[in-house]
A and B are shown apart, each in its own frame.
Chain A
Amino acid sequence: AQSVTQLGSHVSVSEGALVLLRCNYSSSVPPYLFWYVQYPNQGLQLLLKYTTGATLVKGINGFEAEFKKSETSFHLTKPSAHMSDAAEYFCAVSRAGGTSYGKLTFGQGTILTVHP
């Protein structure tokens, strides 16, 4: 079984400040890890993903995340927040291998608010 916990359902930052959204996972097998973003009244779109290889992954819009196996974490960061980053962010995990690729387990979501 696998699970994802996002710490903090709401995060508020000032424009230009560091964005840090926390995600911890549990998985009995090597995981694939994802961050998705959802803008109001839209579907989810992929920000970045970790499968194998380099543990620091870069995504769109200046976001990056680091896979830390020892901490079972995959926190999302961005050095400088922009107003357009305001959205809901979801961390997700899937099993690596077999037919489990697309059957993601999602966290509860974190709503990011950016204020001027």
Chain B
Amino acid sequence: IAGITQAPTSQILAAGRRMTLRCTQDMRHNAMYWYRQDLGLGLRLIHYSNTAGTTGKGEVPDGYSVSRANTDDFPLTLASAVPSQTSVYFCASSDSAYGSANTGELFFGEGSRLTVL
């Protein structure tokens, strides 16, 4: 059972470089999310997608972009990385963003540790 697969697991990146973090899920979940985890701050939502073809901004979207061309994939792109984007990035999914069937439970990948120098 794969669930959510993130790649790379770890990356060191020079400031100013472009980087795409990949996220693929095999649960056919409609909604997907990107969070960043920083010590003492918990997890903060970067971007989300309620369904394929739609995206939205979370709490800390600046410097990041996402796309949702299909149900399974939700890549996160840093157009020009800066040191403050050093963090652990988690992709997550839930079965639906709409309706009472969804109770907000998220399924997480194992994270991508990014260091920007």
- Tell me, in angstroms, the Cα distance from A105 to B60 when the chains sit together: 12
Given A43-B109, A46-B105, A102-B48, the answer on whether A90 and B43 have CB atoms closer than 8 Å is: yes
Interface range for A:
20 to 34
Judging by beta carbons under 8 Å apart, are B90 and A99 in contact? no
Judging by beta carbons under 8 Å apart, are A108 and B41 in contact? yes
Secondary structure type dominating chain B contacts: loop
- Is A63 among interface residues, defined by CB-CB distance under 8 A? no
Residues of A within 8 A of B40 (CB): 9, 108-109
Given A103-B58, A106-B44, the answer on whether A44 and B105 have CB atoms closer than 8 Å is: no
Residues of B within 8 A of A106 (CB): 35, 42-44
Judging by beta carbons under 8 Å apart, are B41 and A51 in contact? no
Residues of B within 8 A of A101 (CB): 31, 94, 96-98, 102-104
Number of interface residues of B (CB under 8 A): 29
- Could you list 22 examples of A-B contacts with CB < 8 Å? A9-B40, A32-B103, A34-B104, A41-B110, A41-B111, A43-B4, A45-B108, A49-B104, A51-B103, A99-B97, A101-B31, A101-B98, A101-B103, A101-B104, A102-B31, A102-B33, A104-B45, A105-B45, A106-B44, A107-B42, A108-B40, A108-B41
Residues of B near any A CB (own CB < 8 A): 4, 31, 33, 35, 40-45, 48, 50, 58-59, 90, 92, 94, 96-98, 102-106, 108-111
